[in-house]
Amino acid sequence: MHFFRALGLIALSAGLAVAAPVMAHTRVVASSPAAAATVSNVRSVTITFNEAFMPALSGLEIVMTGMPGMAGHHPAMKMAGVKVAPSADHKSLVATLARPLTAGTYDVNWHAVGNDTHRMTGKVSFTVRK
């Protein structure tokens, strides 16, 4: 019976998932600030993934890529004083900043490894206004 129940579950889930995109490997499903958003007073950055990751192999860094009035001339600068911790369910990376981000453009470069053992990387960009 277990076998048939499992088969039923599989068939059901496959049916439900017909319209969904290919789901495999760790992907970003949400972030705060959101990708491409313009925000102010950023004290923490959260990236949420579609699946649980292995904390020892996952993390992020925040890089300032531009400052107001210095378009194109600002070298990317990695922000110091960022503490990164996984959420309890291991689906979100939470970065806490020592002080709010100054105005400028930022990339959050993340890397995460899910239980399927594949290292995935990516970035989320946003802008901080005064």
Partner 1 sequence: MTALELARFALYADLGLAFGVPAAAILTGARHGPPVLRPFLVGTAVLGLPLSMIGYLLLVAQMAGTGIGDLDWQLVRDLTINSAVGMAFAVRVVVLCVAVAIGLIARRGQVWWTACAGIALATLAWSGHAAAGEGALALPRLGADIAHLLASSIWLGALVWFLVQLWRRGGTSNDTKAALTRFAGVGSVLVMVLGATGLVNLWFVAPVGVWANLALTDYGKLLVLKLVLFAGMLALAALNRFVLVPMLNSSGSGEDARRGRLGLRLSIGLELCAACAILALVASLGLIDPGSA
Q: How far is the CB of 118 from partner 1 (least distance, A)?
A: 7
Site string for partner 1, 27-46 (x = CB under 8 A): x-------------------
CA-to-CA separations, 87 to 12, 20, 119, 128, in angstroms, rounded: 31, 26, 19, 24
SS3 34: coil
- Show the tokens assigned to 29: 């499903």
CA-to-CA separations, 91 to 23, 70, 74, in angstroms, rounded: 15, 36, 33
Site string for partner 1, 85-114 (x = CB under 8 A): --------------------------x-xx
Question: Pairing state of beta strands 119-128 and 38-39?
Answer: parallel
Q: How far is the CB of 39 from partner 1 (least distance, A)?
A: 29
Q: How far is the CB of 107 from partner 1 (least distance, A)?
A: 17
Q: Which of 1, 22, 36, 80 binds partner 1 (CB under 8 A)?
A: 22
Residues 6+ apart with CB under 8 A from 59: 84, 93, 110, 111
Q: Which of 40, 102, 121, 129 binds partner 1 (CB under 8 A)?
A: 121
Q: Which of 25, 35, 46, 97 binds partner 1 (CB under 8 A)?
A: 25
